[in-house]
Amino acid sequence: MLEKILKDINKLINLGFDKKEFKFVEQIEKNIDFLKLRNKNKKCLLIDLINNAERRIKEGKYDDAVARLYRCVELIAQIRLLDYDFNEIDEKEKNKFNLEKIKNKGIDTEKYEKYADENGRVKLGMEKKFELLKDLGWAEAEEIYLQNNTLKNLLQKRNNSILAHGLEPVKKETAEQLFENVKKISEYLFKDNEENLNIEEKLKQAKFMRFK
């Protein structure tokens, strides 16, 4: 769709229209490049979701925003687990987590056994995913989530929201604080990455144009 719009605009420019009248063309080109990259790189799913949450905050939809930011934290763990061959993102993947696979990574499976079914398949919540990442050797899991009480307190407010398990509407301040926290912890995925992705650059590249 974006490529078709860009094509039509370029036709107008070729007909003599001033390119300065189409200030948004450059951003559309960036959007197209980002969307192509998103299909190849799971980290770009996170970028897209962060921008999505920011738009909801600007629209005053704070409950919606924090629901998306909660998903961002979950996604951080899932993306990092891909590096250890635990794929929970792709629906087609089976045996996403199982005791044998965890054991083969050199981890004592005792604390994960109670989450396993009769076939050894393990269903882990967000906290346990970060614990598994710590056990796998990702020390940053402590700072990102396990010992991050500020983040946990903000996420608890999400749990009490109307779109989760409670009836308390989310305040603007909570949504903005959670947004900044999530953006900060997301940077850990982009440190020393082989793709040389820069989170701030990608956030700008993925931003939608806003027309008034």
Q: Which among 50, 36, 70, 29 has a CA at the least distance from the CA of 160?
A: 70
- How far is residue 47's CA from residue 203's CA, in Å, rounded to a whole number? 6
List, for residues 131-161, the tens digit of each pLDDT value: 999 999 999 999 999 999 999 999 988 777 7
Q: What does the domain layout of the chain look like in residue ranges?
A: 41-91+125-206
Instruction: Report residue 122: phi and psi, to 5°.
Output: -110, 130
pLDDT the model gives residue 81: 95
Provide mean pLDDT across the span 115-131.
93
Cα of first residue to Cα of last residue in the chain, in angstroms, is 21
Phi-psi region of 106 (alpha: psi -120 to 50; beta: other; left: phi over 0): left
Query: 7 falls in which pLDDT band (50, 70, 90)?
Result: low
Burial label for 72, CB within 10 Å (0-12, 13-18, 19+), is buried
Please tell me the predicted confidence (pLDDT) of residue 198: 81
pLDDT above 50: residue 23: yes
Tell me what the mean pLDDT of segment 32-52 comes to. 78
Q: What gap in Å lies between CA 207 and CA 124, rounded to an integer?
A: 32
> Nearest Cα to 126, choosing from 170, 88, 165?
88
Higher pLDDT, 194 or 122: 122
| Residue appearing with tokens 């629209």 | 59
Q: How confident is the model at residue 191 (pLDDT cuts 50, 70, 90)?
A: confident
- Kindly state the average pLDDT of the residues 73-98: 87
Instruction: Categorize the per-residue pLDDT at 197 as very low, low, confident or very high, splitting at 50, 70 and 90.
Output: confident
CATH number for the region 41-91+125-206 comes to: 1.20.120
Percentage, residues of the chain above pLDDT 90: 52
pLDDT band at 114; cut points 50, 70, 90 = very high
CA-CA distance, 22 to 25, in Å (whole number)? Answer: 6
pLDDT, averaged across the chain: 82
Return the pLDDT at 15: 47
pLDDT value of residue 35: 62
Please check the confidence at residue 9 and state whether its pLDDT lies above 60: no
